[in-house]
Structure 1
Amino acid sequence: MNTEQKRKIAACAYNFIDDRDTIIIDDASSSFYLALYIKEHPEKRLAIVTNSLLAGNELAGLDHVDLYMIGGHVGGHLAATMGDDALENMKHFQVDKAFIGVHSINFDVGITSIATPQMQVKRVILNMSHKVYVLADSSKFGGGYLSVIYPMKDIYKIITDDSISTENIKKAQKENISLVIAR
């Protein structure tokens, strides 16, 4: 689960959020830690869209958060909305920044995933966001799944932990990918 790394990544990601930003947080565990961090740091007023019931539960009722829940079918091990209703609901939102977790980062092909309804949600997030931040602990690098969610050129920044290999840092630099290492 890499809990400590995900907490560091969340704290680092928070630094890229400006007061009064409109953001979306997906249903990944890394994104959930960002929701927890936002809950504990009320100094920024935010509008937050999410399909995660867990993140929504943490953010609901906070004075510094205007929360928008994406409707749809609830499924998956992360308690999130997905499916056609969720995808349709998402079309009505436009956000400054997206913060998403991923299954895998492969510098040759992009952000990859297993084919699931959650993958479809992640694809729509790209279209509704001005900047996409990928929250990925170092274990997510190098592999690959069957489905490509995003090409690397569509990612604004990847935020990871300090256990990332030198090889992956060099690959990111070679591909001109903005990689931020949380410490």
Structure 2
Amino acid sequence: MDNASKIKPVKMAAEERRKYILSMLEQYGSVTVSELSEHFGISEVSVRKLLISLEQDSLLQRTWGGAVRTARTTAELPYQVRESKYLQEKMAIARAAYDMINDGDSVYLDSGTTTFELAKLLCNGPKRGILVATNALDHAGVLLGQQGISLILIGGEIRHDVRACSGYLAKDMLSNMVFDKGFLGIEHISFSHGLTTPNMNDAEMKRWILRTCKQSYVLADYSKFWNDSLIQIAPADRVYRIITDWHIAEDDISRFQAKGVSLVSAPAVSNL
């Protein structure tokens, strides 16, 4: 929304406000709570309730401080784009995930840009005697040759778009392994459909990872919440814990916990 919309409050009925928000999303792709509050002349609490209602109707996706247009279920951002998005949040999540790992653990690292940050921490951190298995080429590259870390590369058909291996060869390797902890990247998380991804092969790979790990952690920044991709991987309560960033609201954490889902938020770290 631009400055032209920042005029004196406009009186609108509830349905008119809904239509206005949807038109702004169609035109600009995103809206903020503060701008809508100013435009409508209502409190930010009232705006958030309105956004929640629209989200429940699958008409938008709430974000920190506003909302964005609902993504198509088949949409998947290129890896090169995802590398630079929400980097501070991903680094904070990775640090919280690193705290879950103990010396001597066997760990599985799924492909993804947040799990890549965890791979870098495993290289630079003090914890050792760790066995790491991964299907991600970038992750294996940074872990290769690190003292105190044993490395297993899960092979198979290479998906160039995510720089990782998948397919029946990868699943065959996984079917014979058991790990103490697994850390998964994810495309989307919602109350209705749990963990989802737009790619069928990726969904099957992640299901196998969940089967092979005694404790499975999903690493997801706040942009991954409240939308759905095409393929359901598993209900959210299937994982041991979800680790997200500080942007998630306390009410949303409580809603997950009420459904039996352990969700924790990683605090912002000033020296990242």
TM-score range (shorter-chain normalised) is over 0.9
Q: Could you tell me whether the CA contact under 8 Å between 2:217 and 2:241 is conserved in 1? A: yes
Structure 1, residues 3-40: CA drift from partner, whole Å, max 9, x if none? 11000000000111111000100111111110011111
The code of the aligned residue for 1:55 comes to H
Which structure carries more strand by proportion?
1
CA contact 2:203–2:232 (8 Å) conserved in 1: no
Q: Which sections of structure 2, spanning at least 5 residues, go unmatched?
A: 1-84, 268-272
The letter for the 2-side match of 1:119 is A
- In 2: Cα distance, 1:49 partner to 1:82 partner: 14
1:7 matched to which residue of 2?
A: 91
Are the equivalent residues in 1 in contact too, given 2:221–2:244 (CA < 8 A)?
A: yes
Of 29-38 and 109-118, more deviation after overlay is shown by 109-118
1:18 aligns with 2:64: no
- Structure 1: give runs of 5+ residues left out of the alignment: none
Percent of counterpart pairs with the same letter?
33
Q: How far apart, CA to CA, are the structure 1 residues paired with 2:95 and 2:172?
A: 31
The CA distance in 2 between the partners of 1:53 and 1:124, in whole Å, is: 18
Measured against aligned partners, the alpha-carbon deviations of 1:48-99 in whole angstroms (never above 9, x if no partner) come to 1100000000001011110000011111422101111111121121101110
Taking the aligned partners of 2:187 and 2:200, their CA distance within structure 1 comes to 11
Structure 1 residue identity aligned to 2:185: G
Counterpart AA for 2:253: I
What corresponds to 2:180 in structure 1?
A: 96
2:197 partner letter: S
Counterpart in 2 of 1:115?
199
- TM-score, normalising length: structure 1: 0.95
How far 1:45 sits from its partner (Å)?
A: 2.1
- Partner AA of 2:179 in structure 1: V
Q: How many corresponding residue pairs?
A: 183
Q: Assess if the C-alpha contact under 8 Å between 1:113 and 1:119 holds in 2.
A: yes
SS of corresponding position for 1:133: strand
Aligned pairs for 1:63-74 (under 5 A) are 63-74=147-158
Q: CA RMSD in A?
A: 1.2
Equivalent residues in 2 for 1:164-175 (5 A)? 164-175=248-259
| Separation (CA, whole Å) in 1 of partners of 2:260 and 2:158 | 37
RCO greater where, 1 or 2, for CA within 8 Å and sep 6 or more? 1
The answer to whether the Cα contact below 8 Å between 2:102 and 2:127 also exists between their aligned partners in 1 is: no
Q: 1:158 aligns with which of 242, 259, 262?
A: 242
**TM, length-normalised to structure 2:** 0.65
Give, in whole Å, the separation in 2 of the partners of 1:45 and 1:14: 14
Shift of 1:167: 4.1
Question: Counterparts of 2:199 and 2:163 in 1: how far apart (Å)?
Answer: 17
Mean Cα deviation higher: 107-116 or 33-42: 107-116
Structure-2 residue corresponding to 1:178: 262
Q: Which moved more, 1:9-18 or 1:148-157?
A: 148-157
Q: Which residue of 1 aligns with 2:119?
A: 35
**Which 10-residue stretch deviates more, 21-30 or 168-177?**
168-177
Match of 1:54 among 121, 126, 138: 138
Residues in 2 aligned to 1:12 and 1:72: alpha-carbon distance in whole angstroms? 30
109 and 139 in structure 1: CA distance in 2 versus 1, 3 angstrom threshold:
same
